[in-house]
Amino acid sequence: MADATFWALIALVIFLGIVIYIKVPGTIATALDNRAEKIRNELEEARKLREEAQALLAEYQKKRKEAEKEASDIVDAAKREAEMITAEAKQKTDEYVTRRTAMAEQKIAQAEADAMDEVRGSAVDMALAAATQILGEKVSGKAATDLFKQSLDEVKTRMN
């Protein structure tokens, strides 16, 4: 058995010698170094991409905030404008109602004045008719005419 072990040892040494001669450990080390460098580069690229993504995220968040502020400003301006329009419409409505009320009061006052003039005119006409009838029955001739003229002048004077 010692012989087989000895030859196995010799075969192992020869195998290791061939492996070293064709530079397998160097090739493996180079491959591992290349693989490590590739991983390092990928990690660096991933870090850069992450930083760029964070910068883009910050930029978009800033733009979103600006857009929200602008929208809020637009809404506030629209509210102020609506309030101004409402106040202006209320003021115009109040002015219109005031003008219409004044016109109605003026028409009522004119109608009252016209009614009073008409009543006075009717009263004068009735008084003249009554005076003419009474005087006609009691006074005749020139005295009736003078009395009628005097009464008429007196009524005209009182009316003015």
pLDDT at 128 over 90: no
What is the mean predicted confidence (pLDDT) over 69-78? 94
Amino acid (1-letter code) at residue 63: K
pLDDT exceeds cutoff 60 at 1:
no
Instruction: Write out pLDDT tens, residues 4-61.
Output: 888 888 999 998 888 888 888 888 888 899 999 999 999 999 999 999 999 999 999 9
pLDDT at res. 107: 92
The overall average pLDDT reported for the chain is 86
Surface-to-core class of residue 155, CB atoms within 10 Å of its CB (0-12 exposed, 13-18 middle, 19+ buried):
middle
Task: Return the structure tokens found at 38.
Answer: 């590739």
Q: Residue 2 has what pLDDT? A: 63
State mean pLDDT over 123-142: 71
pLDDT given at position 148: 73
Q: What is the pTM of this model?
A: 0.43
